[in-house]
Each structure stands twice: as structure tokens, then as C-alpha cells.
Amino acid sequence: MNAIALGLDRTALELKMYSREKEAVFFSFLFPILLLSLFSVIFSSQFDQNGAGMSAAHYFLPGMVAAGVLLTSFQTMAMSVASERDDGSLKRLRSTPMPPVAYFLGKVGLVAVSSVLQLAVLLLVARFGFGVDLPATADRWLLLAAVFALGVFAGTVLGIAYSSLSSARSIGAVVIGPMLVLQFISGVYIGWDSVPEWLRQVASLFPLKWIAQGMRSVFYPDSMASVEMAHSWETGRTLLVLAAWAVGGLLLCVTTFKWFKRGTV
Amino acid sequence: MSDTAIRIRELTKTYGDRRAVDGLDLDVRTGEVFALLGPNGAGKTTTVEILEGFRDRDSGEVAVLGTDPHGSPRAWRDRIGIVLQTAGGLDLLTPREVLRSTARSYASPRDVEEVLEATGLTEKADDRIAGLSGGQRRRLDVALGIVGRPELLFLDEPTTGFDPQARRDFWGLIRTLAHDGTTILLTTHYLDEAEQLADRVGVIAAGRLLALDTPAALGGRQSQEATVSWEEDGTRRSVRTATPTAEVATLAARFPGEVPELTVTRPSLEDTYLGLIAPHVTDERTEVPA
């Protein structure tokens, strides 16, 4: 079989493993959906009283979409690759004639399927569960696709590179801790307008802030652009920053990837 | 097909200022089961990992199935099978799923059902791998190693942690593979395993080959003195002799019936092995703290 066919076969296998791991499904796939529902219910009265013309679900949707992107790509990759390296799965794969690219195609396939599925569920829940109006114009959908694809790709390669930082035993803490902090300062759980200026500066160094900003430009009315740091959506810069993270992540991934655990070969 | 499956000449590998492999020469013949023995730190694992294409050598010539394993080309990987010393993971899949997926990488794989049958995993084929016993998990590793129909199989300490019955069953599986013409390079700490399975045994220590022979003849075992022992007057008595048959005949004449508790033994493979490596084990411990 050629590399593409083997990559598809690996994708099927990866999806089986992912769907059977309840913790992964819960913490990366269902978590943003659950939180969106929870926040929408808990904060519904506050938002109605504001009269801002935006429901809680609408307010939190872009952040949850952005968090979902990084959870299904970055978090899933960092944790699964670290454990596969530690338990010898990678070394075993390397001992077969499977072309290495097939392994990465399998990972990309897993992230593509799970993240698109998660986005679809998030949008369905927002639209039909909480009556959020989804974008009405084609260019907004196009922008959604672009930010989403760049975010997922960057998250995937960065996650694979990040997996080399730690052993499987501690990778959970090494991934989830920083991810949680990033989500708080990037406007996912707490409104971007409530984050202090200096923390916004810190958040701007990482991709999650830009994914969230891109998603706000997709789902929010244009009048909301005033809450952004530049008082505009900065669409061009958002795409550029995410593309830079994607390319940088790919280079990092290719140059640092190891099939063997530290201290063995 | 060449007569030599593995050819090693003047192989060296150095870590820092320690010579892990120090001018090793070795041939493994096509179709034989070859056991590589040696104490921890002898250079066994390094040598095997160089042969498997996982590690680069410093100098020397290595040909595995006629190919230099450095760079490990895909067509060459297609002809070898590797059962790693420690293999884990795959917990969320079933043996059938993993075998099917692995088989697809190879040009002419074995039938998955056949491999499940041969490794005694048919009943567990659709269970989660996480639920397999240690022995079953190890048999799955072998199944994964042979599903590509390899000409040469590397088996690294395959039965560590097995109960006696599981080991016997496992040996049966290896014998079947050897009978079908697979060349097998086995590393093990169990001398009885080498004795049961191997056509030839090589002992390495300090990165060099100390002895190379059939298990029965290793270190001149056949020609060494035998020990004849028996019970007499309530105590154990024994005589070392080059002519055990004559000794037994004398005893038979002295006792009216059976000679009580009579045994005739030659040094076991383990005795011979321990004798061979003894000087190097001391060196290891003083020079290279673990």
C-alpha cells in the first residue's frame, strides 16, 4: 500500500483509539460544548439585563470554538504522541516498513475529523439549543474556515513538537496547566474586555488569542470590534500570525521529532 | 538466498570513553536460531540495535540480509521482524485491529487469522489489548513481529516474566517458526531457553565474542569431567571423573541393588556460561557503575 492509503488506514485506527479513550473524548471533545451550555445557562440572566443585544451563548461561542481548536489539536497530539513514544509504540512502528509520513497523516486525519465534528456540534448547540444567529455571509464562513484550518494545523504540529518536552507520566500536567492559563487570559472563559491590558499583551504571544479574535470577528457583530486591542478585527494580521505559528510549528516538529524515548536509542 | 543472514566484522561502538562493542565478529547462518548471551552491559543490546537499524555504529562492517542496516531502507524493513524487549501501548485496540493495520505495511504479509491461530490469540482476537495477560501480550508482540512474513526475526528477551507453562508454549511457537525457515536472533537471560531453542550460542562480554558453539558443546562442556553422586551411610558423596561410566559400574558392583540417589551430571550451560563471563562481570562492576 502507498503512503496515502496507509495514512487513511492509520486515521481509522487513530479514530478508534480516540473514541475509546473516555478521558480524551471528555476533556478535549466534549469540554467546550459542555462549558458553552453551562455558561449560557448560568449567565443568561446577566446578559439579558445588559440589553447588549447579545445572549450569553452568543458571547461565549467564539471563545469555546477557539478553545476547541486547541484542545482537539494541541492537547490531543501532545498527550498521545508523548505516551506513544514512552510505551514503545513509536519504536515498534519504526521497525515496520510503514513510511513515517503515514503516521503523521493518521494524526492529521484524526485531528481533522474530531475538530470538524466538534465545531459542527458547537454550532448546532449554539444555533438550536440557545438560538444564536450564525454568520449570514459567505465571507464570514470563509474566514471561519481559514482561521479554523490554520489554528488546527498549527495546534497539531505544535502539539507533536511539545510532546518531546516531557515523559508520558507528567505530560498531562505539562499540557493542561499552561493550556488552562492560556484559556483564561485569551478570552475564552473570561470576556476579552475583562482581561487586564498587560495580560492581553502576554496572551498575544500565543496562538489561542489570535484564534479567539478571529472567531469573534466571525460570530460577533462588527460593532463589537471596539473591544479588541486595536479596536478593529485585524483580520489580515490574525491570519498572518496563525500562518507563522503553523509554519514555525511544522519546522519545529520536523526538526525535533524523535521516535525513541529519551535515554533509549 | 545467501547462506549468511547476518555478517558482522570488526564492529565497534563507543559511548563517551566506554567501548560498548569492541571489534565484534559474528556470522548468523540463514535458517538457524542463534542465541546471543551476555551479562548486562556486555554490548548485546547495542549490537542488536545496530543490526535492527535503530542505532549507528562507529566502525566495522555489518550486513543484515545482505543490506547495511544504517538508513534502514523500506524494502529491507519488509524482510525483517522485530520483537522489542519492552513493548506496551495499543491498550485501546484489539489484536485483530493492530495486526490488520500492521500487515498492510508489508509487501506480502501473512494471513491475520493464521497468525492469530499460530500465536494462540484467536479467542482474544477481538478483546481490548489492555485486558490481555502478560504472556498473551508477549505473544501479540511476536504476532506483530511475524505478520510481515520476515526472513529474519529479532527476539529480545521474549519470555521475561512468563510462568513455566507459558514459556513452554512460547518455545513451541518459536520452534514452529524456525522449522518454517525463519532465521531467528534471540537474546535472553535464560540459559535453559537458549539450550532449548538455539542451534548455536554466542557469548559476548565487554563488547567481544567470548565463545561460539552449539549449546551442548559450548566452552568444551562435552569434554569436561562429569560428577557422579550417590547416597551412602546417610551422606551425599560425589566423585569428579573423566570416566563416569566406569565409576557407575564400580558403584553398581558395590551395592546389592539400585545405587541410592544416583546422578551423573556434566556442567550445565549455566555453569559454563557463568565460568566464561566471570572475569568480565567483575570488570563491569568496577568500571561501569550502573
Question: pLDDT digits over A161-205, tens only?
Answer: 999 988 878 888 899 899 999 999 998 988 888 899 999 999 999
Mean pLDDT of A128-153: 95
Please give the residue of chain A at the shortest CA–CA distance from B82: A95
| Inter-residue contact B269 to B194 (CB < 8 Å) | yes
| Inter-residue contact A46 to A56 (CB < 8 Å) | yes
**Interface-testing mutation among A76, A92, A258, A264, with chain B (most B C-beta atoms within 10 A):** A92
For Cα atoms A243, A248, A254, give the angle at the middle one, nearest 5 degrees. Answer: 125
Contact (CB<8Å) A88/B87: yes
When pLDDT is cut at 50, 70 and 90, the band that residue A158 belongs to is very high
Query: Would you mind telling me the total number of residues written for chain B in this entry?
Result: 290
Measured distance CA(B46)–CA(B24) in Å, rounded = 12
Measured distance CA(A102)–CA(A109) in Å, rounded = 10
Q: Which residue has the cell 474586555?
A: A193
- Predicted local distance difference test score (pLDDT) of residue B288: 42
**Helix (H/G/I), strand (E/B), else coil: A90:** helix
Residue A242 has, within 13 A of its CA and on its CB side, a CA count of 31
Enumerate residues 6+ apart whose C-beta is below 8 A from B245. none
- Predicted local distance difference test score (pLDDT) of residue A49: 52
φ/ψ of B256, rounded to 5, equals -65, -45
Contact (CB<8Å) A96/B90: no
Nearest CB to B101; choose among A9, A21, A91: A9
> Which residues of chain A are within 8 Å of residue B45 when distances are taken between CB atoms?
none
Domain membership flag for residue A232? yes
> Which residues of chain A are within 8 Å of residue B75 when distances are taken between CB atoms?
97
Greatest Cα pair distance, chain B, in angstroms, is: 71
Domain membership flag for residue A15? yes
- Predicted local distance difference test score (pLDDT) of residue A170: 86
> Is residue B203 scored above 80 in pLDDT?
yes
**Interface-testing mutation among B79, B104, B127, B128, with chain A (most A C-beta atoms within 10 A):** B104
Domain membership flag for residue A84? yes
Nearest CB to B89; choose among A89, A102, A260: A89
The fraction of chain A above a pLDDT of 90, given in percent, is 71
Contact (CB<8Å) B55/A83: no
Residue type, position B37, single letter:
L
Chain A residues with CB under 8 Å of a chain B CB are 1, 5-6, 9-10, 13, 16-17, 20-21, 83-84, 87-89, 91-92, 94-99, 102, 260, 265
Whether B49 has its CB under 8 Å from any CB of chain A: the answer is: yes
> Is residue B286 scored above 50 in pLDDT?
no
Mean pLDDT of B153-182: 88
What is the per-residue pLDDT across B84-103, written as a single tens digit (0 to 9) for each?
Answer: 887 778 999 999 999 999 99
**What is the domain count for chain A?**
1
- Predicted local distance difference test score (pLDDT) of residue B131: 93
Long-range CB contacts (within 8 A, 24+) of B280-286:
B280/B39, B280/B42, B280/B205, B280/B206, B280/B210, B281/B39, B281/B205, B283/B206, B284/B39, B284/B40, B284/B41, B284/B42, B284/B205, B284/B206
Domain membership flag for residue A28? yes
Please give the residue of chain B at the shortest CA–CA distance from A102: B105
What is the per-residue pLDDT across A93-116, written as a single tens digit (0 to 9) for each?
Answer: 999 999 999 999 999 999 999 999
Counting one residue from A and one from B, how many pairs have CB atoms under 8 Å apart? 65
> Is residue B26 scored above 70 in pLDDT?
yes
> What single DSSP character describes residue A28?
I
> Is residue A253 scored above 80 in pLDDT?
yes
What are the grid coordinates assigned to A123, written together?
Answer: 454550532
Mean pLDDT of A11-18: 94
Contact (CB<8Å) B82/A95: yes
Describe the strand order of the beta sheet including B18-29 as a list of residue ranges: B18-29, B4-15, B59-64
Please write down the HEC assignment for all residues of chain B: CCCEEEEEEEEEEEECCEEEEEEEEEEEECCCEEEEECCCCCCHHHHHHHHCCCCCCCEEEEEECCECCCCCCHHHHCCEEEECCCCCCCCCCCHHHHHHHHHCCCCCCCCHHHHHHHCCCHHHCCCCHHHCCHHHHHHHHHHHHHCCCCCEEEEECCCCCCCHHHHHHHHHHHHHHHHCCCEEEEECCCHHHHHHHCCEEEEEECCEEEEEECCCCHHHHHHCCEEEEEEECCEEEEEEECCHHHHHHHHHHHCCCCCCCCEEECCCHHHHHHHHHHHHHHHHHHHCCC
Mean pLDDT of B32-46: 90
| Inter-residue contact B156 to B83 (CB < 8 Å) | yes
**Helix (H/G/I), strand (E/B), else coil: A164:** helix
Please give the residue of chain A at the shortest CA–CA distance from B88: A87
Measured distance CA(A259)–CA(A88) in Å, rounded = 9
The CA distances from residue B115 to A13, A219, A226, A243, in Å, are 20, 54, 65, 47
**Helix (H/G/I), strand (E/B), else coil: A243:** helix
Q: Which residue has the cell 459567505?
A: A138
> Is residue B282 scored above 70 in pLDDT?
no
Neighbouring C-beta atoms of residue A180, cutoff 10 Å = 11
Domain membership flag for residue A262? no
Measured distance CA(A208)–CA(A185) in Å, rounded = 9
CATH architecture of B4-79+151-219: 3-Layer(aba) Sandwich (3.40)
Domain membership flag for residue A263? no
Contact (CB<8Å) A265/B49: yes
**Interface-testing mutation among B15, B47, B105, B153, with chain A (most A C-beta atoms within 10 A):** B105
Nearest CB to A13; choose among B87, B93, B107: B93
Please give the residue of chain B at the shortest CA–CA distance from A8: B101
Nearest alpha carbon to residue B140 among B129, B155, B151, B154: B129
Domain membership flag for residue A70? yes
- Predicted local distance difference test score (pLDDT) of residue B135: 84
Measured distance CA(A229)–CA(A197) in Å, rounded = 8
Domain that holds residue A103: 3-256
- Predicted local distance difference test score (pLDDT) of residue A52: 57
Contact (CB<8Å) A88/B101: no
What does DSSP say about strands B4-15 and B18-29: parallel, antiparallel, or unpaired? antiparallel
B118–chain A nearest CA distance, Å: 20
